[in-house]
Amino acid sequence: MRPGQIIVLATPVFFLLIAIEFSVGRVRARRGTGQDTYRLADAVNSIGLGMLSQITTVLTGLLRIGIYTAVYSTVALFPLDQARDFWTQWYGWLLALVLYDFCYYWLHRMGHESAILWAAHVVHHQSQHYNLSTALRQTSSGALLGWIFYLPMAVAGVPPLVFGVVALVDLLYQFWVHTEQVGKLGWFDRWFCSPSNHRVHHAVNDGYVDRNYGGVLVVWDRMFGSFKEEGEPCVYGTRSPLQSWDPLWANAEVYWSLAKDSWHARSWADKVRVWLKPPGWRPADVAARFPKSDFDIAQVTRYEPPVSRGVLWFAGVQFLLVLGGVASFLWVSDAMPLERSAVWLAALTAALWAIGGVLQARLSVLEVLFVEAAALAAASGALGLDGLHVVFKPLALLLLIAFAIVRTRREGIDGKFGGWLIAGLVASLAGDVLLMWPQFFVPGLVCFLLAHLAYIALFRMSVGLFPRRGALAATLAVGAAMYAVLWFGGLPVALRAPVGLYVVVIACMAAQAIGRAAAAGDAASRWVAVGACFFMLSDALLAMNRFVTPLPLASLWVLATYYAAQMLIVRHVRPVSQAAA
């Protein structure tokens, strides 16, 4: 049985135990003998990060296992046949588990003592709650450097199969220790990682920080001076709170912070030290220019943005649907070509991002549905799933049109402005439908030509036509270069004139959006300009794929940039006041 299938089969057990823990917490909270440790948004975020970790493992796992296997095959200290005979005996399996746990201890410890490793491991610590769903909260980037710590096992001749199994056992063991519903366990706490010991590890209290790293055994902590017994109540999370339900930002936040500090550091040595020093270390010049407040445990508050009960129900249903998609993907992913896996990884990641967005009131329900439909349209197009594609491609624009109508009415946007926006979207919808059939390419081109003209009319309101002529010159130059590539790449003679006209119009649309952003000087207009540039990129990719050379996964790139363009425009476009102009 493949690793992905084992995780899928274990998932119902995880959820059963989570349900039991949740019920116990509710009962104890009512009786006044304990507390309910769950919040829906936090649990969805934690489990969603676990799902993201598992689907990315399909790609990053190849790195970890591939390097391990290469080292095992070339530099093992013992003849492979003899090593295999030893490690596959019961005592070999047990020793392999202990050796893995020892390597894990040092990986885990260095994950708290080196900033670049903390950037990956921090994901597991971001939750301000401590429950079994927290156990599933895992990084998606840990495999990039984590494999280094397990190479001693390869050198010792531990076969890859044995390594993979004991790694899974070590990981599954750690699930049950993430709970507040189990107290101290006496002698067990002295030898093994237990709920009490691991609560200390997740706490940000001064006396608890960077303690109790063991995965199965806590004796490593006792041996190497990192053990701390649980005493005062634990406060959970990180000392720089995430303050977001965005799974992508959860994985990227520390990398981004380190990159900024490295960029701002004046010394080249400091630019490197930022990544290697303990988390929180900053060059003196960077700390002086960009100060951060000291951590104060008394000021810690839980991140719980208010959302309605209806939104919570919606997010919960969407989460269950995505969970089903992830389980289906993991069941077959080990036998799936890498290219197809990457497509489904992109689609499932987009859905998880959208669910996080609605839980922190950053996206509306219609926007979430649009993102999900767009992800399925792009994925089905890239994978040749025509039955899904003909449903989700038009559905995505229909949902975006509905969102645009709701938004313009809610914000009281005048009829003419909203009318041009809806006209551009309706023309785009017609183009979407027609371009699904190659014989309707020219009519589809005409529809998108009309869409761009509608957007030009929309963007010129209050600022005039092409308020920045430099932007027009730049976009026309880019368009001319693209047209030259198409011309010499094999653009049919009959299409040279209509495609040339189309290139001019979309360049003008992008120039109008850029000029509008320069005139208005606000963030929303800049995002609209970014969307217009994405539109230009999407059309360039479409033309390249059709007339010059087939692009790998062309539909994914074309539709991903196209839907990003439409969403940025619809979400951010607003009338520009005369004063701003």
Q: What is the per-residue pLDDT for 438? A: 86
CA–CA separation, 566 vs 274, rounded Å?
38
Interval 239-261 mean pLDDT: 96
Q: Residue 298 has what DSSP assignment?
A: G
| pLDDT range class, residue 462, cuts 50, 70, 90 | confident
| Contacts (Cβ under 8 Å, ≥6 apart) of 226 | 109, 210, 211, 212, 213, 220
Q: Residue 299 has what DSSP assignment?
A: G
Torsion of CA 528, 530, 534, 537, to 10 degrees: 130
CA–CA separation, 436 vs 432, rounded Å?
7
| pLDDT range class, residue 326, cuts 50, 70, 90 | very high
Interval 463-481 mean pLDDT: 94
Interval 343-357 mean pLDDT: 96
Q: What is the per-residue pLDDT for 80? A: 86
Residue 62 has pLDDT above 80, yes or no: no
In this structure, of 334-343, 373-382, 567-576, the range with the lowest mean pLDDT score is: 334-343
The rounded percent of the chain whose pLDDT value lies above 90 is 88
Residue 581 has pLDDT above 50, yes or no: no
Q: What is the per-residue pLDDT for 578? A: 38
Interval 72-84 mean pLDDT: 89
- Residue 477 burial (C-beta neighbours within 10 Å; 0-12, 13-18, 19+): exposed
Interval 218-244 mean pLDDT: 96
CA–CA separation, 402 vs 278, rounded Å?
49
Interval 209-224 mean pLDDT: 97
Q: Which amino acid is at 508?
A: C
| pLDDT range class, residue 336, cuts 50, 70, 90 | confident
- Residue in the structure block whose two tokens are 């050796």: 99
Q: What is the per-residue pLDDT for 450? A: 96
Residue 277 vs residues 117, 262, 274, 359: alpha-carbon distances, Å: 10, 12, 6, 35
Beta bridge partners of 192: 217
Residue 160 has pLDDT above 60, yes or no: yes
Q: What is the per-residue pLDDT for 158? A: 94
Report residue 31 as tokens. Answer: 């009786």
Using one digit for the tens of pLDDT, what is the confidence trace for 474-525? 999 999 999 999 999 989 998 899 999 999 999 999 999 999 999 999 999 9
| pLDDT range class, residue 65, cuts 50, 70, 90 | confident
Q: What is the per-residue pLDDT for 252? A: 97
Using one digit for the tens of pLDDT, what is the confidence trace for 396-413? 999 999 999 999 999 888
Using one digit for the tens of pLDDT, what is the confidence trace for 174-208? 999 999 999 999 999 999 999 999 999 999 999 99
Q: What is the per-residue pLDDT for 119? A: 97
Helix (H) or strand (E) holding 196: helix 195-202
135 with 193: CB under 8 angstroms? no
Torsion-angle region of residue 246: left (phi > 0), alpha (psi -120 to 50) or beta? beta
The mean pLDDT of the chain is 94
Report residue 433 as tokens. Answer: 């439908």
Q: What is the per-residue pLDDT for 64? A: 81
